[in-house]
Structure 1
Amino acid sequence: MSAVQERSISPARGWIGVAAITASLFVFLTTELMPVGLLTPLSEDLDISVGTAGLMVTAQGVAAGLGVPFIVAWSRRVNRRYLLSVLLAVLAAGNLITSVSPNYPLILGTRLCMGFASGVFWAIGVSMAMRIVPERHASRAAAVVMSGISIATVVGIPLGTIVEDHTNWRTTFGIWAALSLAVFLWVASAIPSLPSDNAVSVREVFSLPVKNGQLRTVLFIVVFFVLGHFGAYTFVRPYLEDTANASSTFITVVLIIFGIGGAIGNFVAGYTVNRSLRGTFVVGLVGLIAALLLLRGVGDAKTGAVIALVLWGLSFGAVQLSQVNMTLAAAPETFEAAMSLNTMAYNTCIALGALFGGLFVDHAGVNSVIWFGVVLAGASLLLRLGTGWKKETPAQASSEDEQLARTV
Structure 2
Amino acid sequence: MNLTKEFEQPAGIALDRPLNHPGVGTTAPGTTAWGAIAALTFSIVVLLVAELLPASILTPMAEGLGISQGLAGQTLTVTAIAAIFSSLLLTRVARGIDRRQVILGFMVLMVASNLLVALAPNFTLLLFGRLLLGLALGGLWAIATSVTMRLAPEPMVPRALSVVFGGISVAMVIAAPLGSYFGAMVGWRGVFGATAVLSLLGGIWLYAAMPALPAEREGRGRGILAVAQRPGMKVALLAMMFVFAGQFTFFSYMRPFFEQVTGLGVAAISGVFLLFGVANFIGTVVCPPLLRVRLKATLAAGPALIGLFALILASAGYAPWIAAVMIALWGVVFGSVPVGWSTWIARNLPDDVENAGGLQVAVIQLANAAGAAWGGYLLEAGGATMPLFAAAALMLAAAFVSAVRLRTR
TM beyond 0.5: yes
Q: How does 1:33-48 map to 2 (within 5 A)?
A: 33-48=52-67
Q: Does 1:139 align with 2:158?
A: yes
Distance in 2 (alpha carbons) for counterparts of 1:198 and 1:356 = 41
| Per-residue Cα deviation, 1:350-399 (whole angstroms, up to 9, x for no partner) | 111101110111112121100000000000000011035350xxxxxxxx
Worse-matched range after superposition: 164-173 or 145-154: 145-154
In the TM superposition, residue 154 of structure 1 has moved relative to its aligned partner by 4.0
Distance in 1 (alpha carbons) for counterparts of 2:256 and 2:276 = 16
Q: Does 1:6 align with 2:46?
A: no
TM-score w.r.t. length of structure 1: 0.90
Distance in 1 (alpha carbons) for counterparts of 2:148 and 2:47 = 16
| Per-residue Cα deviation, 1:263-315 (whole angstroms, up to 9, x for no partner) | 00000112221121122223322331222122112211111111111011101
Residues 127 and 142, structure 1, Cα contact 8 Å, conserved in 2: no
Q: 1:205 aligns with which of 205, 208, 224?
A: 224
Residues 235 and 406, structure 2, Cα contact 8 Å, conserved in 1: no
Residues 24 and 153, structure 2, Cα contact 8 Å, conserved in 1: no
User: Which residue type is aligned with residue 107 of structure 1?
Assistant: L
Q: How does 1:23-34 map to 2 (within 5 A)?
A: 23-34=42-53
Q: Does 1:69 align with 2:72?
A: no
Q: 2:277 aligns with which of 243, 254, 259?
A: 259
User: What value does the CA root-mean-square deviation take over the aligned residues?
Assistant: 2.0
Distance in 2 (alpha carbons) for counterparts of 1:154 and 1:349 = 21
User: Which residue type is aligned with residue 303 of structure 1?
Assistant: W
**1:134/1:386 CA distance change after superposition, 3 Å:** same
In the TM superposition, residue 86 of structure 1 has moved relative to its aligned partner by 1.4
Give the secondary structure class of the aligned counterpart of 2:352: helix
Distance in 2 (alpha carbons) for counterparts of 1:217 and 1:227 = 15
Distance in 1 (alpha carbons) for counterparts of 2:168 and 2:242 = 19
**1:199/1:256 CA distance change after superposition, 3 Å:** farther
1:368 aligns to what? 386
User: Which residue type is aligned with residue 331 of structure 2?
Assistant: G
Q: Does 1:354 align with 2:375?
A: no
In the TM superposition, residue 9 of structure 1 has moved relative to its aligned partner by 7.3
Residues 25 and 152, structure 2, Cα contact 8 Å, conserved in 1: no
User: Which residue type is aligned with residue 257 of structure 2?
Assistant: Y
Distance in 2 (alpha carbons) for counterparts of 1:101 and 1:277 = 45
Give the secondary structure class of the aligned counterpart of 1:7: coil
Q: Does 1:151 align with 2:163?
A: no
Q: Does 1:249 align with 2:249?
A: no
In the TM superposition, residue 80 of structure 1 has moved relative to its aligned partner by 1.0
Distance in 1 (alpha carbons) for counterparts of 2:128 and 2:220 = 28
Q: 1:296 aligns with which of 290, 296, 314?
A: 314
Q: 2:397 aligns with which of 376, 379, 384?
A: 379
Q: Does 1:103 align with 2:122?
A: yes
Structure 1 residue runs of 5 or longer lacking an equivalent are 392-408
Distance in 2 (alpha carbons) for counterparts of 1:168 and 1:5 = 45
Residues 36 and 234, structure 1, Cα contact 8 Å, conserved in 2: yes
In the TM superposition, residue 123 of structure 1 has moved relative to its aligned partner by 1.5
1:405 aligns to what? none
Give the secondary structure class of the aligned counterpart of 1:6: coil
Question: Number of matched residues?
Answer: 387
Distance in 1 (alpha carbons) for counterparts of 2:36 and 2:225 = 30
Q: Does 1:115 align with 2:134?
A: yes
In the TM superposition, residue 4 of structure 1 has moved relative to its aligned partner by 8.5
In the TM superposition, residue 202 of structure 1 has moved relative to its aligned partner by 10
**1:356/1:330 CA distance change after superposition, 3 Å:** same
Give the secondary structure class of the aligned counterpart of 1:333: coil
Q: 4+ residue stretches of structure 1 with deviation over 6 A?
A: 2-5, 200-203
Distance in 2 (alpha carbons) for counterparts of 1:5 and 1:209 = 27
2:19 aligns to what? none
Structure 2 residue runs of 5 or longer lacking an equivalent are 1-22
TM-score w.r.t. length of structure 2: 0.90
Q: Does 1:89 align with 2:108?
A: yes
Give the secondary structure class of the aligned counterpart of 2:152: coil
Give the secondary structure class of the aligned counterpart of 2:57: helix
User: Which residue type is aligned with residue 31 of structure 2?
Assistant: S
